[in-house]
Amino acid sequence: VFAAGEHASGEVPGTRSFGAMRDREGNLWFAFVDDGLARLSSQAHVFEVWRHRYNDDASLAHSRLSGVAADPNGGAWAISDTDGLDRLAPDGSVTRHGSHIPNDAALRSVAATDSQVFIGRWRGILRYSPATGQVDDIGAGSGVDALPEAPISRMVVAPDGALWAVARSGGV
């Protein structure tokens, strides 16, 4: 753990990170629950920061983030704990996708494939298609293959395309 100035330059936006990942270019991304998103460049070792700015649709939908995931096409997906889902392109531009996500979802985590974004929530997972805007609810249940009745705290897409989810107090 280090602060700006110790091993890198630029601003570290927050003190509590609920998500971190490495993208295909080797950059490190950090989602801060208290103040936005930061990317640490793998080449220049400089932090670049994104936050919500009032009345600016080119900024993050929210600065209170609960997760970040690599976009296999480059860039990243960031999620807030309410209805914010943003795609950050490799050039740093932001596209908001939150209008497609139910605002009662209590969002916890995010993972992405080439064509879908999975959003872990308080109970279950949402599957979102950025190309069509379609959202499918993969709810929790009681069957053998059902998701546990617990918050989905972390998710990862395996190399074979399978989605793995970790539920707090509920297993994998």
Structure confidence at residue 33 (pLDDT): 85
Give strand pairing partners of 22.
28
Structure confidence at residue 1 (pLDDT): 41
Q: Which of 92, 85, 78 is nearest to 49 (CA)?
A: 92
- The overall pTM is greater than 0.75: yes
Structure confidence at residue 140 (pLDDT): 66
Mean pLDDT by 10 residues, the chain (172 residues): 46 74 89 87 85 90 89 89 84 87 74 90 87 86 68 86 82 68
Q: What is the 3-state secondary structure (H, E, C) of the chain?
A: CCCCCCCCECCCCCCCEEEEEECCCCCEEEEECCCEEEEECCCCCEEEEECCCCCCCCCCCCCCEEEEEECCCCCEEEEECCCCEEEECCCCCEEECHHHCCCCCCEEEEEECCCCEEEEECCCEEEECCCCCCEEEECECCCCCCECCCCEEEEEECCCCCEEEEECCCEC
Structure confidence at residue 19 (pLDDT): 83
Structure confidence at residue 105 (pLDDT): 60
Structure confidence at residue 14 (pLDDT): 67
Q: Which of 169, 124, 168 is nearest to 146 (CA)?
A: 124
Structure confidence at residue 134 (pLDDT): 93
Q: Is 106 left (phi over 0), alpha (psi -120 to 50) or beta?
A: left
Q: Which of 99, 64, 100 is nearest to 80 (CA)?
A: 64
Structure confidence at residue 9 (pLDDT): 52
Structure confidence at residue 4 (pLDDT): 42
109 touches 154 (CB < 8 A): yes
Structure confidence at residue 137 (pLDDT): 86
What gap in Å lies between CA 108 and CA 119, rounded to an integer? 7
